[in-house]
Amino acid sequence: MSEPKRLHPAAIIFNFIKGIREFIFVLIFGFITFRDQSFGYFILIVLLLALIIVAYSVISWYRYTYRVEEEELRIEYGIFIRKKRYISKNRIQSIDLTQGVIHRIFKLAKVQIETAGSGNGSEASLKAVKFTEAQTLRDELKNEDTQATELDPETEAETTNHPFYKISFKRLFVAGSTSGSIGVIFVLALGALEFERFIPDRFFDNAMSWVIGLSIMLIVGFALALLLFLWLLGIAGTMIKYGNFTITKYKDELFITRGLLEKKQITIPLGRIQAVGIQESVIRQPLGFVTVFAEVAGGSLDQGEDFSTVLFPIMKRDEVEEFLQEILPDYAEQPQDFNPLPKRALTFYLFRTMVPIILLGIAVMFLLPQFSWVIIILLIGGLYLGFLRYRAGGYYLKENRLMVRYRVLSKTTMLMYHKRIQAFEKTQHKIQKAKKLATLKLSIIGKLGTGKHYTIKELDEADLDQLSDWYSYRK
């Protein structure tokens, strides 16, 4: 494959779309300014601009070539300034294939190549390559000759000797219906209750007589329909993102494919996993569902990507151990006896959640005294959340593995190895010191070349000192 190759001509479309997107504001601005006078000239200029973008798209497609030569991926591109980018094979960390809607029509794929150091955006991205071609390219660029892993889940299932997990439709539905959008719905529902209190005087008295025509039932019905719509939107969003989710372990890599509209295939080398986490959101926790995710070092962050890589969107809590045993045996063991926070930490947790609510409460009492009852509800909720946070906090230490657990809204359990921790920090203020408590902060490598930091507040100081002895390389 030493012949320089071009991308599939469909890349012209992508170039064109990108070009249009860059000029869209100019176009809108121009449209508004010249709407009345000299509109003809405007159209002419727009046509000219479109022509230039088309020409630009075609030329940049024509100039963009890639080939694999001497253990390197060599890309040459650029119109005025010719650029050459050579990426050595053993620098390549992962190769991801993505299929958007347009890609799937033409049976194409986008190939994204990432090296350890790439920051925002991948090191090289071939916008449109024939799908089969993309697979051979990936196999060629892999260090060892791993066989092609198909995007198609059916063929993938045939390789039964590799651990393989697939999301069921039912689970996906549960994931969607308990997704974050339900939180938005709660807020809106509260707002809807308030709606009625807000409206009467202004609306009914004003000339908006048609509102009276609408019975209150209709308004309630409308609100309910809106909530239902948002909820369904949440489900649809999850379905599109995580539909056909599969995860396979092949040799020392994990392959994840997901997405209904945009099919995405992600490769994660096991060696790059820094920590594995289990997240239980407030809504899913009572149902016993969790999300399993991993912190992966390096790599880029695509638009709309989460900061962590989801290993499985939703599963029952008691299935996690078995799942990890298959996929990531090093991270499998789930202890039951976490070292909890000491009792005297509870006051700190309650205080911390209460302060913003109390401040809000004071403001509300002065500005909108009729809503004081909302504050009471918030206070109760805040106290409960503070208590939950206190209850969630803790750690578990075994040999060279440390597990920490904390809650912001969702309860998160992170498991990491001694050798993965980049820095260990203990912070303590005067009050904590008096109570013999301290805060722990652990840092690991995250995406984007920045760190990920985990803090457990108000641990027993003696416990923390023990952890620091465990962490210290000075023995």
Partner 1 sequence: MRQPPVNRIARDAIKAWKITAAIYISVLWLATIGVAIITYNYTVSYWFISIAVLISALSTYLFVFLLPKIRWRRWRYEVFEQEIYIQHGILIVSRTLVPMIRVQHVDTQQGPILRKFGLASVTISTAATTHEIPALLEEDASDLRDSISALARVDEDDV
Chain contacts with partner 1 (rule: CB under 8 A): 116, 271-272, 274, 297-298, 419, 422-430, 433, 441, 443-446, 449-453, 464-465, 468-469, 471-474
Shortest reach from residue 473's CB to partner 1, in Å: 4
CB-wise, 263 or 452, nearer to partner 1? 452
Q: How far is the CB of 360 from partner 1 (least distance, A)?
A: 25
Work out whether the CA dihedral 63, 68, 70, 73 comes out positive or negative: positive
Shortest gap between Cβ of 299 and partner 1 (angstroms)?
A: 10
Kindly state the smallest distance separating residue 275's Cβ from partner 1, in Å: 11
Pairing of the two strands 339-340 and 394-398: antiparallel
Which residue, 174, 163, 454, is CA-closest to 313? 174
Element (H, E) at 470: helix 461-471
Nearer to partner 1, 132 or 427 (CB): 427
Q: Which of 394, 360, 391 is CA-nearest to residue 374? A: 360
- Of 441, 437, 440, nearest to 462 by C-alpha is 437
- Which residue, 321 or 469, is less far from partner 1 as judged by CB? 469
- Cβ 355 to partner 1, closest distance in Å? 16
Which tokens is 415 given? 């498991």
CA gap 397, 415 in Å, rounded? 10
Q: Is 309 helix (H, G, I), strand (E, B) or coil?
A: strand
Give helix 345-367 / helix 372-392 axis angle, nearest 10°.
160
Q: How far is the CB of 72 from partner 1 (least distance, A)?
A: 22
Q: Smallest distance, Å, CB 445 to partner 1?
A: 4
Nearest-5° Cα angle at 261, 255 to 264: 20
Distance, in Å, from the CA atom of 470 to the CA atom of 472, rounded to the nearest integer, reads 6
Minimum Å distance from CB 407 to partner 1? 22
Pick 156 or 460: Cβ nearer partner 1: 460
Q: Which is nearer to partner 1, 272 or 389 (CB)?
A: 272
Q: Which DSSP state fits 420?
A: G
Least distance from partner 1 to the Cβ atom of residue 274, Å: 8
Rounded to whole angstroms, the Cα distance separating 261 from 243 reads 9
CA separation for the pair 37, 31 (Å, rounded): 10
Closest CB to partner 1 among residues 398, 430: 430
Closest to partner 1 by CB, 198 vs 351, is 351
* Whether 437 contacts 328, CB under 8 Å: no
Rounded to whole angstroms, the Cα distance separating 165 from 71 reads 33
Measured from the CB atom, the residue of 61 and 454 that comes closer to partner 1 is 454
Which string of b and e fits 84-112 if b means at least 16 CB within 10 Å?
Answer: eeebeeeebbbbbbbbbeebeeeebbbbb
Phi/psi at 264 (5° precision): -130, 135
| Residue in the block written with tokens 């997405």 | 259
CA 326 distance to own-chain centroid: 24
User: Considering beta carbons, is residue 170 or 475 the nearer one to partner 1?
Assistant: 475
Residue 465 CB coordination number (10 Å): 13
Residue 138 DSSP label:
H
CB of 165 to partner 1, least distance (A): 25
Cβ of residue 413: shortest distance to partner 1, in angstroms? Answer: 20
User: CA 85 → CA 59, 66, 133, 198, 391, distances in Å?
Assistant: 18, 9, 20, 62, 52
Round to whole Å and give the CA distance between 350 and 389.
Answer: 9
> Judged by CB, which is closer to partner 1: 325, or 443?
443
Distance CA 71, CA 407 (A): 47
DSSP 8-class letter at 116: T
Which C-beta is closer to partner 1: that of 88 or that of 132? 88
Q: Closer to partner 1 at the Cβ: 383 or 448?
A: 448
CB of 128 to partner 1, least distance (A): 30
